[in-house]
Structure 1
Amino acid sequence: MTKLLDAARTSFDGEELRRGASRVLLDNWTGASSVPSHTLYPHQWSWDSAFIAIGLRHLSVRRAQLELETLLGAQWADGRIPHIVFNPAVPLGAYFPSPDFWRSSTAGAAAGAPAAPETSGIVQPPVHALAAWLVHEADPQESLRRGFLARMYPKLAAWHRYLTAQRNLGGSGLVTTVHPWEPGMDNSPCWDGPLARISPAAPDTFRRADLDHGAAADRPTDLDYGRYVRLAADYRDSGYADEPGRHAFAVEDPCVNALLIASEHSLARIATAVGADPAVHEERARRLTATLVLRLWHPAYGMFLCRDLVEGDLITERSVSGLIPLIVPGLPDEVTSALRTTLDGPHFRAAETGLVASYAFTGPSFDRTRYWRGPAWFNTAWLIERGLRGYGADKRADQLHSAFLASSGASGFAEYVDPVTGEGHGTRDFAWTAALALDLLARQTRAGSR
């Protein structure tokens, strides 16, 4: 048994944890949105803001609404929500790729990029409708008074149409990601094969600002980064066009598609609340769920796998992405049973460690400290905890819940942690770690009051 599990089984000071998490969110608030980290990530990130809003609603529903409103205020006319919204007050050298690399207002003009603010041109996982619904539920009267859902619904519906139409590059109905940054798991070993096809940008054509604030041993390699830059530059130079067959990196990712399905269910609830027809979202969720199982489920692996559309094959690497579909309602019993077995089995050892590694311990590229190649992340744990509860596994979810809270506080709200010891890595005072800790604490308090 790990020290982390020992700590999770003892009482920790929930009020102290709540104060610490609240401090992080207050410190990371910029006036209209939040930064994930003032040092490493000094702008607004797409799926970060969704997770941040989920926790921020427990401090200020108004700020949680504004978090999402600010993000969707940078939405492109084609419906895409860019993965970064840049703060013009931040110096260009503070983060790379910076606005002058993406050139969204010019290179993205044909795709409907706004004249301002400047953004990136790629996207991140679509957890936004789920976040909007949870923010609404925190104070339905305030939400109604401000017309929050009525303003969010058309924007979120356009976002989902973009993903299911223009990003249906494989023709299956599933969303295709065209850059390793889009699934949010930047340097996952799942991308090693597809990335091997990419000629990296020359090292002297860019400068990695991330190494100013993060240890090189914890971050993606220079070779990987050069390939990321090449793919982003090629997409930019195409005018951010989404066309089948033109992308050197094209992957169907189970996490991205599972979050789209979960958000379609939330969008159906939002549609009902604003007087729109929920049927299109309910039907899309059903269709996507069936396709997810058909296209990405691998019974011998006991989990979902990514599919490389360029080669046409499943990528036989075990990533936490393949466990996230637990958040999807209505999966076949044999699929949910196998996912729970894989979660706690020798590949991920979650029952033993208390955490969920981002990549299988048994994988050939496992690394306990390097970004998405092994370390445990708090957003993926939050999603799996929620998925377990959705399938009635409350006792198992409680164990993950406790380990999450113990590790988040002990690590100083780290960006990610060692999957065995819980030692923090990456930046500290990371906003979504604090936000999701607040959410779990709030749910724990409500459960205790019943």
Structure 2
Amino acid sequence: MDKKSFYIFMLISMLLFGCGQHNSKKSKSTSPSKYLVETRGILDFKGVPKDKDDRDMLMFSDQGAWFAYSLPENNTNYGGFSGPFLMTQDNGVWSSPTMVRFAIQDSIGLPIIWDKLGTNSYNSHLEQNYENKTWKVEQQLVFMSSHTCLQRIIISNISDKEITLNSSFQGNLFDIGLKFSKEDGYLKLTTPKSKAVGYVQFLEKGNDLFVRDSSSYVANNQTLLLKPKESTSYLISETFIFPEYSWDKEKQLISKIDFDSVLKIRKTEKEKELSNLIESTKSQFSDKKYARVLAKAQLTLQNNRRNAAGGLMHEGLFPSYHYEWFQGFWSWDSWKHAVGLSYYNIDLAKNQIRAMFDYQSEDGFVLDCIYRDNLIEDNNYRDTKPPLSAWAVAKIYKKDGDIDFVKELYPKLKKYHEWWYKKRDHDKDGLCEYGSTDGTLIAAKWESGMDNAIRFDNSKILKNSEGAYSLNQESVDLNAYLYAEKGYLATLAKALGKTDESSTYRMDAELLKKRIQEQFYDLEDGWFYDSDLKGTTYIKGEGSEGWTALWAGAATQRQAETVKNLMMDPKKFYTKVPFQTMSADHPMFNPLKGYWRGPNWLDQAYFGVKGLRNYGFDQEADMATKQILEGAEGILNSGSPIYENYHPLTGKGLNAKNFSWSAAHIIMLLTKDE
């Protein structure tokens, strides 16, 4: 949420809840609605961190917050939510096993034994409940904003006797440089490692707070007397806020808030997002199991959302909070995220694109990746990524018709498109190459997005001009993307009334289309390959770049037919998880050790499926979509995360969990009019 949105939200909230008082009785809660109820347990958030670096469990966050929580397992750490996991410092660390834990004892100070303990998660919030014959405790956690989450605890005497108990809140910190202090009756958390400041407020039962030392505290240590069937509640706010935002205004908002109203807002918001997604599903994928997959994809993207802070001037998505080196925004990922987001959160989709163009150079270059804090990680100016930004903007424009957004982005897209021909066309023949700004071969391979693909094994680097280098090969996928970009730029130019520019892009696209068909297609093999600069020698090894021309619509029908036949060959690409990055019968195929030498990346699988649809092979596209989702480990199962990529023969999920572009492309696979 940016500053303007925050203040609007604050004003609306005050109007809605301004007269609301914190009620000691249980308020009537809004039940999950038609689609939201189906998200129960869609991801498994259970776990308690053993130390600050424990990344075994998944974590729940919302609203772009830079902190997240998990659910306690069994009797371990009941009474609180695991964490929070802080993405405000380092590359993400756990602050505590449970920073705010509700502890209760009987009247003589003995721990209470619980007969039943249970946890639930929805896309909107987390819950845990525990009870015995006498007591019932219900806890919920919901994000009020991108800076603050709220926890409510309701304790009920379910017996027929008046009962006394002792209660308190307790918490302690891992050794991460974070320190507790007491300020104006609430906990303050600071660290020299981050500009973000944390605040914990106990809102309903006074400010009885004692900071034992800089890493532990106890609060609201009191004796409660509850009559039969009587309940009482506690409300706690946890805030982690960067200096770009106002703690005073956030604190004012918290003071006026009503938990049930916030929870209702979150439920309504998620129901709307899920409705937009699920009701856009292609008719052939109307089965309930695919609706749950879309809900899982939405929650995956939600957990990776971060609001603007530090060097990130607009909100956007991490590739994965789960992997410590993915705590930033990447250009290629951003374009893909934006298309997936456009189905249900158009504003976030637009901001994801803006976040990368905030760093566009005067010559049009868009850097590879950006981070919030460059003391942790430097932005990567050594390369860019494949040009898919015009695709993303055109898809967003198709969704909402926002011509102002097109006006804003079109000049930037145009400069970026022209940059490729100025800085990445070594022999000036109208076909571009991947390359780097620093003259290194590794950065040039990174620029392809397919870092260690076999087609680059024998590549060499060539200097074009100062700060501009190319590989000594012309890549079919790069030029197919550029062909598609010309079409999308033509569409956007026409929408802006720039008819001459639109016509020029159309004519240039037709010329490039013919070049792609003639230079990169091997008639003997029936496949598209990269070639040398002269266009006389193919760089062979069937890989997913071979169907990019179909995705872009740059192949002839006959060429598409032969590519389709190889794609649907079980010995090659029609594996348990179809359309992986290289043919399964290639001697260098190695999904476990080859990042781009065999795993199935769902973006590449999507390009393959969409390529089939572009040429009328809908039956094959439907078959492949179903096999991808059924073959990939856990995608159709509750609890299991969406992975970075998958083993195409076994279906095993590989590398990072909770991966954004995998989730975005699942949305594209299942929905209409992407």
TM-score (norm 1): 0.75
Distance 1:273 1:139, change over 3 A: same
TM-score (norm 2): 0.51
Distance 1:190 1:265 in 2: 27
Q: Specify the code of the residue in structure 2 equivalent to 1:419.
A: P
Distance 1:90 1:420, change over 3 A: farther
Q: Which runs of 5+ in 1 are unaligned?
A: 1-7, 93-98, 100-117, 198-230
Q: Is contact 1:172-1:291 (8 Å) kept?
A: no
2:451 equivalent to 1:267: no
Distance 1:438 1:261, change over 3 A: same
**Aligned residue for 1:187?**
452
Distance 1:311 1:172 in 2: 10
1:60-139 to 2 correspondences below 5 Å: 60-88=345-373, 91-92=376-377, 99=378, 118-139=379-400
Distance 1:161 1:170 in 2: 16
**Aligned residue for 1:214?**
none
Distance 1:12 1:399, change over 3 A: farther
Distance 1:161 1:333, change over 3 A: same
Residue identity over aligned pairs, in percent, reads: 25
Q: Deviations over 1:179-211 (max 9, x none)?
A: 1111111111111122xx6xxxxxxxxxxxxxx
SS at match of 1:290: helix
Q: Is contact 1:170-1:176 (8 Å) kept?
A: no
Distance 1:90 1:363 in 2: 43
**Aligned residue for 1:324?**
548
**Aligned residue for 2:591?**
368
Distance 2:523 2:393 in 1: 34
Q: Is contact 1:42-1:90 (8 Å) kept?
A: no
Given the alignment, which residue of 276, 290, 309 partners 1:14? 290
2:467 equivalent to 1:240: yes
Given the alignment, which residue of 159, 182, 198 partners 2:416? 159
**Aligned residue for 2:537?**
313
Q: Is contact 1:297-1:303 (8 Å) kept?
A: yes
Distance 1:192 1:13, change over 3 A: same
How large is the RMSD of aligned CA atoms in angstroms? 2.6
SS at match of 2:336: helix
SS at match of 2:531: strand
Q: Is contact 1:346-1:362 (8 Å) kept?
A: no
Deviation at 1:346, TM superposition (A): 5.6
Given the alignment, which residue of 328, 344, 348 partners 1:59? 344
SS at match of 2:326: coil
**Aligned residue for 1:289?**
513
Q: Is contact 1:74-1:119 (8 Å) kept?
A: no
SS at match of 1:292: helix
Distance 1:421 1:330 in 2: 33
Which protein has the larger Cα radius of gyration, Structure 1 or Structure 2?
A: 2
Deviation at 1:89, TM superposition (A): 5.9
Distance 1:395 1:136, change over 3 A: same
Q: Is contact 2:386-2:448 (8 Å) kept?
A: yes
Distance 1:422 1:10 in 2: 23
Distance 1:346 1:20, change over 3 A: closer
Distance 1:380 1:420 in 2: 16
**Aligned residue for 1:391?**
615
SS at match of 2:579: coil
- Of the structure 1 ranges 384-393 and 11-20, higher mean CA displacement relative to structure 2 is found in 11-20
1:436-447 to 2 correspondences below 5 Å: 436-443=665-672
**Aligned residue for 2:580?**
357
2:649 equivalent to 1:420: yes
Q: Specify the code of the residue in structure 2 equivalent to 1:15.
A: A
Deviation at 1:252, TM superposition (A): 1.4
Deviation at 1:362, TM superposition (A): 1.8
Distance 1:311 1:397 in 2: 31
Q: Specify the code of the residue in structure 2 equivalent to 1:431.
A: S
Distance 1:426 1:310, change over 3 A: farther
**Aligned residue for 2:635?**
409
Distance 1:402 1:367 in 2: 24
2:425 equivalent to 1:149: no
Distance 2:614 2:551 in 1: 7
Deviation at 1:375, TM superposition (A): 0.9
Q: Specify the code of the residue in structure 2 equivalent to 1:88.
A: D
**Aligned residue for 1:280?**
504
Q: Is contact 2:612-2:621 (8 Å) kept?
A: yes
Distance 2:514 2:303 in 1: 43
Deviation at 1:12, TM superposition (A): 5.9
Distance 1:311 1:156 in 2: 28
Q: Deviations over 1:66-95 (max 9, x none)?
A: 111111121111112222123226713xxx
Distance 1:78 1:165 in 2: 9
Higher normalized helix content (fraction of residues): 1
Distance 2:398 2:333 in 1: 20
Q: Specify the code of the residue in structure 1 equivalent to 2:390.
A: A
**Aligned residue for 1:47?**
332
Q: Is contact 1:401-1:440 (8 Å) kept?
A: yes
- Of the structure 1 ranges 339-348 and 281-290, higher mean CA displacement relative to structure 2 is found in 339-348
Distance 1:239 1:164 in 2: 15
SS at match of 2:458: helix
Deviation at 1:287, TM superposition (A): 1.3
SS at match of 1:129: helix
Q: Deviations over 1:301-349 (max 9, x none)?
A: 2111112449973211211111211113253222111111121236523
Q: Deviations over 1:52-71 (max 9, x none)?
A: 00111122101101111111
Distance 2:508 2:518 in 1: 15
SS at match of 2:538: strand
Deviation at 1:353, TM superposition (A): 3.0
Q: Is contact 1:121-1:240 (8 Å) kept?
A: no
Q: Deviations over 1:244-282 (max 9, x none)?
A: xxx5x3331111111111121111111111111211211
Distance 1:150 1:172 in 2: 31
Q: Is contact 2:516-2:554 (8 Å) kept?
A: no
**Aligned residue for 1:37?**
320
SS at match of 1:425: strand
Distance 2:553 2:285 in 1: 30
Q: Specify the code of the residue in structure 2 equivalent to 1:48.
A: D
Distance 1:422 1:346 in 2: 15
Deviation at 1:132, TM superposition (A): 0.8
